[in-house]
Amino acid sequence: MPDEPSAIPLADVLRAANQLVSAGLIEDYALAGALAAIYYTEPFTTYDADIVFVAKDKTRSAGIPAIYSHLQSKGWRVEREHLLVKDFPVQFLAASGLTEEAVRQAKPIKYEGVPAKVFRPEYIIAVAASVGRHKDLARIEQLLEQAKMDKASLDDILHRYNLKLPKK
């Protein structure tokens, strides 16, 4: 994911996530899913951004209503499970277990000057293995072929969460 403007308003998404931290609505966050994978691989088409966050609100709602309310007050719209910034869909997903560890271990980056964090490739692979959809299996293969990663760390994560990579 080069540090150059694109059709995806990613800098706006990351700015908003940083504002949620500053406002005390979330503890921490990281970019996950396809856009996180693209940081480490050749680009491919994606239709939304996934922001995985560590909730400050430990109730069942994880503070999602407050997050939506805050972002709507900044001009974001809601469409089904997504918030839209400049018509680009963004999902805010509460972290737990593997994804909370992934947020806490995420790689600090700057994108168009905006500080942020992105899941490390080992965690992208582990999360994809836990979900197991066809597109997740393709993402695993692409990351294994293209991303530089710590194989021992990947093996450790997979072992601790009782996950297995798909057979080729």
Residue 142 lies inside a defined structural domain of this protein: no
143 contacts 43 by C-beta, under 8 angstroms: no
pLDDT tens digits along 95-108: 999 999 999 999 99
Measured torsion, CA atoms of residues 34, 38, 42, 44, in degrees rounded to the nearest 10 = 40
Task: Give 22-54 pLDDT, tens digit per residue.
Answer: 999 999 999 999 999 999 999 888 889 999 999
For residue 14, is it within any domain?
Answer: yes
| Spans in the chain with pLDDT lower than 50 | 1-5
Task: Let me know if residue 63 belongs to a domain.
Answer: yes
Give the three-state DSSP class for 153: helix
- In this prediction, residue 1 carries a pLDDT of 47
Number of domains observed in the structure of the chain: 1
Range of the domain at 94: 10-120
Dihedral sign (CA 82, 84, 89, 92) = negative
Q: What is the domain-level CATH number for residue 30?
A: 3.30.460.40
Closest by CA position to 114, among listed 6, 19, 7, 40: 19
- Can you give the pLDDT at residue 7? 74
The answer to whether residue 15 is domain-embedded is yes
126 part of a folded domain: no
DSSP state of 110: E
Q: What is the mean pLDDT of the chain?
A: 92
Q: Between the CA of residue 122 and those of 106, 110, 135, what are the distances in Å?
A: 10, 20, 17
The pLDDT score that the predictor gives to residue 46 is 87
What is the pTM assigned to this prediction? 0.91
Please tell me the predicted confidence (pLDDT) of residue 76: 94
The pLDDT, as a whole number, for residue 3 is 46
